Structure 1
Amino acid sequence: MALTGKIETDVEIKASAAQFHEMFTHKPHHISNISSNHIQGVDLHEGDWGTVGAIVYWNYFHDGKARVAKERIEAIDAEKNLVTFRVIEGDLMEHYKSFLFTIQATPKGEGCSVHWTLEYEKHHGDITDPHTLLQIAVEVSNDIDAHLTAQA
């Protein structure tokens, strides 16, 4: 079994790509109010919202347990509505040597397509691929979409 992996999914939403991108770059601390069944809190530990190098601390619920993740924003491309987070501390590091989340929102018709990429390296071959985490990303995307389109 491979120790490195990459899983991806697309979520079609009605909100604009720019609105969705802004939620993860400049307003992730609002996500806990929008998708509270998955995200309990998001705090800025270092830097400024929406800047590369900022350290963001996530409290989330996964596989029936409260979890935490400390992530550094690795890349932001406002033109491509792309943001990449690298997990640097937290529960995921128990199973993975490295973990990267990339979120890109591409305009499509009246809304956009949100592409999630999870790239990781496992500590050993007995660890399952993080498909349940990808499912949470889909559900959070849909919650954000419902929130953004309700405001319109």
Structure 2
Amino acid sequence: MSSSSPLVGKLESSTEIEASAEMFHHMLLHKPHHVSNASPNHVQACDLHHSDWGKEGSIICWTYFLKGKAKTAKEVVESVDPKNNSFTLRVLEGDILEEFKNVLVKCKATPSAKGSGCVVQWVLEYEKLREDVADPVTTMEMLVEVGKDMGAHLTKP
């Protein structure tokens, strides 16, 4: 399928947080089960289903809230680049696959030009099951909010 298909799309968003790129990357990749402490309004839990936290091929299952409804997503860690504080997750199972054939979540944390904190970049690549499915804008908004919550949590005294 060509990328010009109306079913294939990509959303990108960046936000600046106070935490360092390394702190953010480490928590989200190696301790995602702590994200619910940082962002309880969005994330209920994250459980490890296969392998080890943060390893390529590991499978994690998120329980989260989207538009006030409880949702789940089982994801595989497809790639990890610790040098660039980035990783890619592919959704294997979950509520989002009721409307999407494929969903890829990419996250990268880059040190801020200001000298402290970092810029968190989220990329959602997706393929809709039908043309009448809306782009996953609310999912992207949730990811950005979770990132901001994590930044605040990681820099608490």
Identity of paired residues, percent?
A: 51
User: Structure 2: where are the runs of 5+ without partners?
Assistant: none
Matched residue SS, 2:156: helix
Does 2:132 correspond to 1:126? yes
Identify the residue that residue 151 of structure 2 maps to in structure 1: 145
Count of residues paired in the alignment: 151
Identify the residue that residue 82 of structure 1 maps to in structure 2: 86
Matched residue SS, 1:24: helix
State TM-score, norm by structure 1.
0.97
Matching of residues 66-105 of structure 1 within 5 Å = 66-105=70-109
Matched residue SS, 1:124: coil
In 1, Cα distance between the equivalents of 2:13 and 2:30?
23
CA RMSD of aligned residues (A): 0.9
User: Structure 1: where are the runs of 5+ without partners?
Assistant: none
Question: Deviations along 1:51-87, whole A, 9 cap, x unmatched?
Answer: 0000000000012210000000001000000011100
Shift in Å, 1:24: 1.4
Matching of residues 1-152 of structure 1 within 5 Å = 2-108=6-112, 109-151=115-157
The one-letter amino acid of 2:118's match is: C
State TM-score, norm by structure 2.
0.94
Matched residue SS, 1:83: strand
